[in-house]
Amino acid sequence: MAEQIMAKGLEGVVVSETSLGFIDGQQGRLLYRGYDIHDLAEHASYLETLYMLWHGDLPSGEQLEAFEARVAGARTIPDGVVDALGSLPRDANAMTALQAAVATLGSFDPDSDSNEHDVELAKALRLAAKIPTVIAAFDRIRGGEEPIEPDPDLSQAANFLYMLTGQEPSDVAAKALDTSLLLYLEHGFNASTFACRVIASTLADLHSSIVGGIGALKGQLHGGANEKAMRMILEIDSEEEAEAWVDEALDQHRKIMGFGHRVYRTEDPRATHLRRMSERLSEDLGDPKWHRIARRVEETMLDRKGINCNVDFYCGIVYYTLGIPLDLFTPLFAAGRIGGWSAHVMEQHGDNRIIRPRAEYTGSKNREFVPIDER
């Protein structure tokens, strides 16, 4: 029998090969299929990067146009999904609603059960196109408003903001959201991607795998941190109070949301872009107060604990400044990560072995059964 290793939280354990994402936690490097995240964030769009992740290479202008048209043509969601969203309680958790909607979309998908590569790729495109529509429709319905039909002439990010508010966003706002989705697209074997791969490894279908990924992302130690980080910043009244707030939170052994990472030992390279975007957007569109408070929180965390912020910290401020409701922050993370999740499901199905680790049993091994009338 092979030697058994016990690693709580699977820290440092390599469970599979992947050619999708590479993270160098010491150097703070993140690559999507060999492309540096800094180059992609500065020069590419979300859909351009998604095409590359799914197909292996960056698209030509013509390929990108055709891909964008296919995504734009697949954004509408079936009436049954709108009805399912409408049947949820008004105060339903947005991530739970997204799980329900993705499961329902699976029931409507004509190829729901097929794991054949080309079919799975087409399903992934439909799902990536529809998730923003689901999130916007959920928000409109709970507010007593009709969902807004997607506009095929708008980009993925601009169309989401349009469906949410009924107003076409500025180029700056659309670009900021688009880049955040790109930064959220792929990140190796994080908890939600691993959850998707575990489910896919049983040969369950794409939609079932994604529903599991959304469940894992919901937690505050993972995707839930972008919402929690912003709620935390809103607790701090001013820049001057930030330092004392952090000290008090650390004294109470509270975890500061949006800080720390299992893999990065230096700055999360995604945070570099989100900090910049947060600063620019706060000055252009919103109130610079929140960005300034965040800066002081970041400086204090580095000084007291030497812990860097992660992708979720400044993303909270970016989304808040864009006027997005707080509880839609994590669903938007899912709207970006859907591309990575589905790429991993396809990679898993392409070279599958069921993922089935073992646990070290710590219970008793020799208990005597006592019949019920003698207990």
The catalytic residue positions are 222, 261, 312
Dihedral sign for Cα 10, 127, 202, 53, please: negative
The answer to the question of residue 141 lying near ligand COA (CB under 6 A) is no
Judged by beta carbon, residue 43 or residue 305, the one nearer ligand COA is 305
Phi, psi of 169, rounded to the nearest 5 degrees: -75, 165
Percent helix / strand / coil, the chain, rounded to 5: 60, 5, 35
Question: CA–CA separation, 32 vs 53, rounded Å?
Answer: 7
Q: Which amino acid is at 244?
A: A
Residue 149 gets which letter from DSSP? Answer: P
Q: Answer yes or no whether residue 244 interacts with ligand COA by CB under 6 A.
A: no
Residue 307 vs 326, nearer CB to ligand COA: 307
Q: Which is nearer to ligand COA, 112 or 220 (CB)?
A: 220
Shortest reach from residue 257's CB to ligand COA, in Å:
5
Whole-angstrom CA distances from 310 to 179, 263, 290, 301, 315 are 16, 11, 17, 12, 9
333 binds ligand COA (CB under 6 A): no
- Please tell me whether residue 340 binds ligand COA under the rule CB under 6 A: no
Does position 280 interact with ligand COA (CB under 6 A)? The reply is no
CB of 223 to ligand COA, least distance (A): 7
Residue 256 touching ligand COA (CB under 6 A): yes
Q: Which two tokens stand for residue 220?
A: 């505050």
d(CA 114, CA 44): 32
Read off the DSSP letter of residue 369: P
**What is the spatial distance between Cα 338 and Cα 302, in angstroms, rounded to a whole number?**
32
CB of 6 to ligand COA, least distance (A): 15
Options 307, 323, 347, 355; binder of ligand COA; rule CB under 6 A: 307
Q: How far is the CB of 268 from ligand COA (least distance, A)?
A: 7
**Residue 225 in contact with ligand COA, rule: CB under 6 A:** yes
Looking at the Cβ atoms of 8 and 367, the one nearer to ligand COA is 8
Nearest to 343 by CA among 251, 222, 213: 213
Q: Which of these ranges, 71-79, 129-137, 304-312, 318-326, lies near ligand COA under the rule CB under 6 A? A: 304-312
Choose the binding region for ligand COA from 63-71, 159-167, 306-314, 322-330 (rule: CB under 6 A): 306-314
State CA 368 to chain mean position distance. Answer: 48
Residue 289, class by beta-carbon neighbours within 10 Å (0-12 exposed, 13-18 middle, 19+ buried)?
middle
Toward ligand COA, which CB reaches closer, 77 or 217?
217
Measured from each CB, the residue nearest to ligand COA is: 260
Residue 262, interface with ligand COA (CB under 6 A)? yes
Binding region for ligand COA (CB under 6 A): 9, 221-222, 225, 255-262, 305, 307, 310-312
